[in-house]
């Protein structure tokens, strides 16, 4: 791997926001901040379209600060939100889809995403915040959480309301579809794992690969189970990594951190990371047979002491652990007791 987004990398090291950059003729990256999040910003990519207007890949978190960064970034390259004709969304998370409604209202632009994530967005919007909170609490209890801990970690319903009024797309993109960005050959690549409908985009003329959250240069994307998620999301993710490994783009443009080359090397490193994690989890199950996913998460290595984990960080850790358990089960290495709160042991060899 080699860092090509040097300004992004330097900004990361100095804990600042990187500059708006022109990456190719008619292509810019615009950093849009994410409040109170260690990822700091999402890179929104703006494309000049043949015949006039702009296309956006992702939009950023829904907040006034993010809106000011997006509109200011477009102005700095001679554009405006009113010029946007279409928005491609890599996946349903709020830092990617959040501002899509504002962009659509200000410009009349269409919004496109994969059907699997579009279905999840529509379902969240129909149910509302209270239903989403209740479902997540029950899901965590089913993974072994004490109900009081689950209620505390998930938080009140008003915390979820913003995530249940996101933009439902006007258009759907399947694997292999070309995006309607005149002057560009942006082909959708379905890469389920981080979300069921995650899309990367391969720009075929310039050999650019917009990787969204599927492949990041430094961190491993969160791969978790969830209320309405896939049955085996980590298997999906590893299959998706294998599917893009040999594309050999000239440059990878992720949604976070910095641009880089060496997609195959990074895909191999991410695969090795998860295999190491699976081995660590097997060791934990051997030492603590009959444990729930909630309990097993406490026996794994994390970036900080386990007793400092709470709220959304603890939820992500437990649901990541559950995703790894499901892959081990599909490989025939562990079995659950099949109870309402499954406990896990090593499979008989």
Do 210 and 129 contact (CB within 8 A), yes or no? no
Q: How far is it, in rounded angstroms, from Cα 281 to Cα 296?
A: 8
Q: How far is CA 208 from the centre of its chain?
A: 19
- pLDDT for position 17: 95
Q: How do the pLDDT tens digits run along the chain, 349 residues long? A: 999 999 999 999 999 999 999 999 999 999 999 998 889 999 999 999 999 999 999 999 999 999 999 999 999 999 999 999 999 999 999 999 999 999 999 999 999 999 999 999 999 999 888 999 999 999 999 999 999 999 999 998 887 888 888 999 999 999 999 999 999 999 999 999 999 999 999 999 999 999 999 999 999 999 999 998 889 999 999 999 999 999 999 999 999 999 999 999 999 999 999 999 999 999 999 999 999 999 999 999 998 899 898 899 999 999 999 999 999 999 999 999 988 899 999 998 7
- pLDDT for position 123: 93
**What mean pLDDT value characterizes the chain?**
96
Ordered by where they begin, the domains of the chain are: 2-118+160-270 (3.60.15.10), 276-346 (1.10.10.10)
179-212: b or e for each residue (b if 16 or more CB lie within 10 Å)? bbbeebebbbbbbbbbbbbbbbbbbeebebbbbb
- Could you give the C-alpha distances from 239 to 235, 243, 278, 285, in angstroms and in order? 6, 6, 16, 25
What's the whole-model pTM score? Answer: 0.95
Q: How far is it, in rounded angstroms, from Cα 116 to Cα 340?
A: 27
**What string of H, E and C letters represents the secondary structure of 21-32?**
EEEECCEEEEEE
10: CB partners within 8 A, 6+ apart: 18
Q: How far is it, in rounded angstroms, from Cα 114 to Cα 311?
A: 29
104: CB partners within 8 A, 6+ apart: 87, 110, 111, 167, 170
- pLDDT for position 303: 87
């Amino acid at each position: 791997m080699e860092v090509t987004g040097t300004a992004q990398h330097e900004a990361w090291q100095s804990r600042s926001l990187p500059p708006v950059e022109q990456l190719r003729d008619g292509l810019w990256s615009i950093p849009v901040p994410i409040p109170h999040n260690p990822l700091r910003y999402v890179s929104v990519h703006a494309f000049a379209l043949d015949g006039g207007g702009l296309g956006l890949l992702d939009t950023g978190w829904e907040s006034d600060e993010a809106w000011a960064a997006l509109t200011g970034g477009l102005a700095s390259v001679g554009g405006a939100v009113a010029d946007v004709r279409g928005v491609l969304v890599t996946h349903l998370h709020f830092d990617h889809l959040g501002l899509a409604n504002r962009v659509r209202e200000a410009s009349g632009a269409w919004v496109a995403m994969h059907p699997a994530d579009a279905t999840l967005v529509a379902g969240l919007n129909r149910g509302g915040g209270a239903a989403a909170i209740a479902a997540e609490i029950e899901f965590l209890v089913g993974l072994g959480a004490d109900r009081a801990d689950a209620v505390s970690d998930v938080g009140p319903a008003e915390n979820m309301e913003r995530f249940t009024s996101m933009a439902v797309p006007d258009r759907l993109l399947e694997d292999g579809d070309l995006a309607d960005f005149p002057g560009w050959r942006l082909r959708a690549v379905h890469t389920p794992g981080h979300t069921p409908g995650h899309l990367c985009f391969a720009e075929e003329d310039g050999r650019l690969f917009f990787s969204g959250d599927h492949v990041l240069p430094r961190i491993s994307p969160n791969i978790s189970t969830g209320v309405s998620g896939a049955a085996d999301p980590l298997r999906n993710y590893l299959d998706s990594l294998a599917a893009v490994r040999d594309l050999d783009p000239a440059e990878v443009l992720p949604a976070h951190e910095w641009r880089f080359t060496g997609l195959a090397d990074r895909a191999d490193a991410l695969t090795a990371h998860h295999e190491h994690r699976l081995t660590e989890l097997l060791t934990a199950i051997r030492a603590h047979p009959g444990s729930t996913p909630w309990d097993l998460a406490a026996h794994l290595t994390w970036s900080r002491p386990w007793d400092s984990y709470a709220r959304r960080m603890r939820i992500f850790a437990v649901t990541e652990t559950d995703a790894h358990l499901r892959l081990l089960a599909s490989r025939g290495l562990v079995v659950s007791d099949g109870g309402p709160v499954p406990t896990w042991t090593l499979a008989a060899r």
